[in-house]
Amino acid sequence: MSEIPAENKEVGIHTTATDAHVPRETPKGSYLALLSLAALGVVFGDIGTSPLYALRECFHGPHALPGGPTPENVLGVLSLIVWSLLIIVSIKYVIFILRADNKGEGGILSLTALLNDFKPSGKKERRVIVFLGVVGAALIYGDGIITPSISVLSALEGVKIANPNVSTNFIVYGTVAIIVLLFLVQRTGTGVIGALFGPITLVWFLVIGALGISEFAHNPMVLKAVNPYWALEFFHENGLFSFFIMGSVFLVVTGGEALYADMGHFGVRPIRLAW
């Protein structure tokens, strides 16, 4: 993946820190498939795990549902998850936000750079715009700090579920070791990361997809969650407490911003195809 001919680049896949942004023709065929696989590993690793711990948080902890995982509550939460993914990721990001690029680049910092060409009418308008740019940049830096630790930690917590004898220290130190290793490898460039994690992420999605299909066969009632009625009924039954649950449900879309932030690495078409 790291040795990609220049004529095949759509928006300059960044295989090293020195790669230049050079717009090219839309990738096709096998090259499009390779870019989509790499995007799968780099862009979708986080959002591919987020729904799992988001669902757990809805029924555990200080803000868990009082009634517990009743069939109605499960369908309501699942419906909220499904429609959050559809509205925020499929519609907002994939259809609309990916159109708002800065010469093929995405992310809040690229949007902030567009302010150089903006001529505000007064000091007040300039201050508001600069403030929004700073807030957006702060959020993306905060997300870069929080998301890796939460994602890896939640994944390793699954080991304790499979084997209760595993100590908490092992999970914490293991998380730190994995994050340090990931950041050491990350400097090698997007091409290497995509080639390494693309196949791994693909296997991950195939496995959880197969497990999901097998569970559907045992309990097809869960497919009712596609109907937004259950989400609306959940709000009707739980009132104000539903908004606390939405704080947990919103975790399912963490990582969705990577679709836009990493647009310059892969291009719009591979990311949309991978999604």
Compute the Cα dihedral for 228, 231, 234, 239 and give only its sign: negative
At 115 the pLDDT is 73
Report the distance separating Cα 159 and Cα 196, nearest Å: 23
- The percent of residues in the chain predicted with pLDDT above 70, rounded, is 90
Q: Which of 148, 157, 156 is nearest to 179 (CA)?
A: 148
Mean pLDDT, to the nearest integer, of 54-83?
86
Report the distance separating Cα 27 and Cα 200, nearest Å: 23
At 67 the pLDDT is 77
> Is 17's pLDDT higher than 60?
no
At 2 the pLDDT is 36
At 187 the pLDDT is 80
Q: How many beta carbons lie within 10 A of that of residue 157, not counting itself?
A: 15
Report the distance separating Cα 242 and Cα 120, nearest Å: 40
Chain center to CA of 6? 29
| pLDDT digits 0-9 by tens, 186-222 | 787 777 888 888 999 999 899 989 998 998 888 899 9
Report the distance separating Cα 239 and Cα 247, nearest Å: 14
Between 236 and 185, whose confidence is greater?
A: 236
- Is 0.85 topped by the overall pTM? no
Backbone angles phi, psi at 228, to 5 degrees: -65, -10
| pLDDT digits 0-9 by tens, 39-48 | 898 888 778 8
Backbone angles phi, psi at 100, to 5 degrees: -90, 65
> Is 128's pLDDT higher than 80?
yes
> Is 227's pLDDT higher than 80?
yes
